Amino acid sequence: MSRFIHTLLCFALLISSSAAFAFETDQFNLPEKPLADIGAEVHDYIRENIEKAIEKINREINVRQNCLDNEQAKNCESAAKNRQRLNYLRSENAVARAVFNRLGAGIVPFTVSGSWMESHRFAAQPARYKTSLKESIYATFPGNYLTISEMVNLYGEQFGTDKIAHIFQQGYTYLQIYERALAKGLSKEAATKKANDWGRMSERTFYGNLVSGVYSNADLAANFVGLKFYQNLTREIKIGEQIKLPLVVLENGFWKFNENVELSENLLKPYVTAHLNEALNPSIYTRIFELHSSVRGRVVKRACAEWRDLQPNRSKTDYDEISLRLQTWHGEDYGFTANKSFITIGNACFGD
C-alpha cells in the first residue's frame, strides 16, 4: 500500500509540474565527459536571426517608402498610415520586437531559441548533458526532475538551456516594463528596478517557488542580461567599465549592422557568465515537503566529490568568494535575493 501511495504521489507531481512548465536545472551534478564549447555555433545562430529580423523590417520600409515617393504605386495605404508605420519601423522598439519574434517568441516558457538549443545537432560533441534521476538533486521530487533542462557549455560557462529562454523571452518582458516606466517619467534606474521587481515576483510565483519550490537567482540574472541584450541592439550600454556600442544602426532610413562593432565578440558572449550557473549562483529551495534538506543531502552525497576532483586547488573560501561576487552583475543589481540557508559548493562540500 505504501509503495502504491508513493507511486501515486510521484505521478501527481509529474502531472502538476508539467502543467506548470516549471523548468529547473541541476548544475551540481557534473557531466561524465567535459562538454564541448558551443559558443561559436550559438553566436552564428543569433547573428543569423538578427540579420533576418532587420532584413524583414527593411523590406517593409522599402515598400512603405516607395508608396510615399511614388503616387502611382499600387496597393498602398494612405500617406498618413505609411508615415505612421515608417516611424515605427525606424524605431528601436521595432528592432527589439523583430528580434524577439525570431528568438524569444513561443508559448511561455518555450521559445524558438530554446527549442533550437535543445534539438540542434551541434558539430562539437558532447554538446548537452542531463543527469539521471538517480543522481539528480531532485531524485525524490520526480516532478521537478521531469522539467530539468539540459546543461550546455558556452564560452567556458555551464548552465541550463532554460537560461536561453529567460534571456530572450523574459528579457524582452523586462524591456517592455522598462520602456513603460520611462514613458511614465521614471528614471533609468527606477525603470530597471521595476523590471527587477517583476522578475522577483515571477520567481516567487509562476516561474519558480509557487510551482516548483525553487526561487532561482540565476533565472533573475538571465532575465536581466536579456534586458541588456535587447537594449544593446540599438543603444549604447555599459558593462562594468566597458562601453558597448549598438549592434545595429539606422542609416539612410534602413537598419544595418554597426560597422564599428566586432560582432564575433558582441552578441551573446558578454552576457554569458557564472551568474547563470545555479551551482555557483545559489537558488532558494522551499522547506515545504523537505525539498531544501533533500537537495542539500543529494549535493553532499552525490556531487561534492566531483567538484573536489574538478577543482582540487579550490577551497571553501574560493567558492564563497565566487558566490559573493555573483550577487551583482558588474556592480549592478539584477534582483539577487539573499537567504541564510543557501546551498552552495562552499558550505555543502567544505562545511563541517
Phi/psi for 119 (5° steps) reads -120, -20
- What pLDDT was estimated at residue 196? 98
- 3-class SS letters over 151-196: EEEECCEEEECHHHHHHHHHHHHHHHHHHHHHHCCCCHHHHHHHHH
pLDDT of the chain, 352 residues: tens digit per residue: 444 333 333 443 333 333 334 478 999 999 999 999 999 999 999 999 999 999 999 999 999 999 999 988 889 999 999 999 999 999 999 999 999 999 999 988 789 999 999 999 999 999 999 999 999 999 999 989 999 999 999 999 999 999 999 999 999 999 999 999 999 999 999 999 999 999 999 999 989 999 899 999 999 999 999 999 999 999 999 999 999 999 999 999 999 999 999 988 779 999 999 999 999 999 999 999 999 999 999 999 999 999 999 899 999 999 999 999 999 999 999 999 999 999 999 999 986 5
Q: Which H or E run contains 11? A: helix 2-20
Neighbours of 155 (CB within 10 A): 17
Give the whole-angstrom CA distance, residue 196 versus residue 228.
12
Residues 212/75, Cβ–Cβ less than 8 Å: no
CB 67 within 8 A of CB 82: yes
Report the distance separating Cα 178 and Cα 175, nearest Å. 5
pLDDT at 215 (0 to 100): 97
Report how far apart the first and last C-alpha atoms of the chain are (Å, whole number). 39
pLDDT of amino acid 23: 77
Hey, which residues does 286 pair with through a beta bridge? none
CA atoms of 118 and 98, how far apart (whole Å): 22
Specify the pLDDT at position 16.
Answer: 38
